[in-house]
Amino acid sequence: MLLVFLLLPQFFILPLFPQPSLLLCLNPTWLPIARVLAGQFSPMINGFGLANTSVALFGGYLFALGESDLPYAIKLTQNGEIITLGRHAFYSNPFLNMTAHPKIDPNTGEAFAFGYDIFPPFLTYFRINEEGIKQDD
């Protein structure tokens, strides 16, 4: 079995005091509170997903995908190390999430995916062209 770990901003928590660090270990609901207090919670910049569902190659990048966030662009080095390049918004207005299972057309290289939200429009369908640019919903 191969275990892969991505270096995502969500995992950098600066311990403020030893006692809150202990609380983080005991109760995971303290984690978002600690991130806000440490000034590290910015979902539009750092994201909030885990990118732990699938990996896809399209638009000239290799992406780690999760259902609740934008994809994270990753890079493989020649010695097999995985480097996280960061969240990728496909050169369009920021959108919050996309499915972790985009469908890639093998003939054109385009990716087809959808995003969802609790506010209207609840479901959007979009295309990412072969250059990695998101097209209109």
Q: Residue 115 forms beta bridges with which residues?
A: 124
- 101 marked as binding residue: yes
Residue 98: count of CB within 10 angstroms of its CB: 26
CA atoms of 43 and 69, how far apart (whole Å): 9
CA atoms of 126 and 118, how far apart (whole Å): 18
The burial of 49, by beta-carbon neighbours within 10 Å (0-12 exposed, 13-18 middle, 19 or more buried), is given as: buried
Summarize the annotated binding site as residue ranges.
101
Summarize the annotated binding site for Fe cation as residue ranges.
101
